[in-house]
Structure 1
Amino acid sequence: MADTPELEILQENLPKLTRMNSVLRFAIGDDEGYTIDARDGKAALVEDGSIEPDCTIKVSRENMVKLINGDMDPMLAYTLGRIKVQGDMGVAMKLVKAIAS
């Protein structure tokens, strides 16, 4: 994985995600994305596609950075269609709580 602004932000915020007990994927475009394995009390970026996610959040690169930084309200972004959620909505709600802390 090449270092990009969104990757750096994800890595900085991994400790916030340790209690999610889920696998989450941020899908950026058709082939790009980041998968976070936040099971067993730890959170780590894993090779995209190596684990089936419980929840996938489709988002633009710019909006992903805003979301993780807390500069975008996740519920409003979802309502306005700036992010789309596939899979377990409960995992998406856990993410909202995790990034708010």
Structure 2
Amino acid sequence: MSETIDAAVTALNEKLDGKGFDGVAKFRIEDEGAIIVDEGGARAGDDAADVTLSADLDTFRAMIDGDLNPTSAFMSGRLSVDGDMGAAMRLAAVLA
């Protein structure tokens, strides 16, 4: 597991504030790996998910840091979404 994925898991768990996520979402970070977010929080993994969000590392960092709204990232083509759009919107609300 990369240091980038470790740091991203920590940042996502801080954003989730111990609440978990209703559903299963996967963040796929180009050239780094994948993170699963579910009722247990965030963890490194590449399991099956209701929705997969894919972005490059800079886009992912900007979303986690609050510098880029996930909806804006999607609309500008920097974030791709495959699967349940409702789950993606719920996750975007957590990241905002």
What TM-score, normalized to structure 2? 0.80
Q: Hey, what does 1:10 align to over in structure 2?
A: 12
Per-residue deviation, 1:60: 0.7
Q: CA deviation at 1:3?
A: 2.6
Q: Give 2:80's aligned residue.
A: 84
Kindly report the root-mean-square deviation, in angstroms, between the aligned alpha carbons of the 2 structures.
Answer: 2.2
Aligned length: 94
What is residue 44 of structure 1 aligned with on the other side? 42
Q: CA deviation at 1:91?
A: 0.6
Taking only the aligned residue pairs, the percentage that are identical comes to 30
| Aligned mates of 1:14, 1:75 — CA distance in 2 | 18
Extract unaligned runs of 5+ from structure 1: none
Deviation track 1:44-71 (CA, whole Å, cap 9, x = no partner) reads 315x23x311110010111111112211
C-alpha contact 1:17 1:98 (8 A) present in aligned 2 = no
Residue 10 of structure 1 deviates from its aligned partner by 2.4
Q: Name the counterpart of 2:22.
A: 21
Shift of 1:82: 0.4
* Unaligned 5+ runs, structure 2: none
1:20-57 alpha-carbon deviations (Å, 9 max, x no partner): 31111111226721112x22xx31315x23x3111100
The farther-off stretch of 20-29 and 80-89 is: 20-29
Q: Which runs of 4+ in 1 moved over 4 A?
A: none
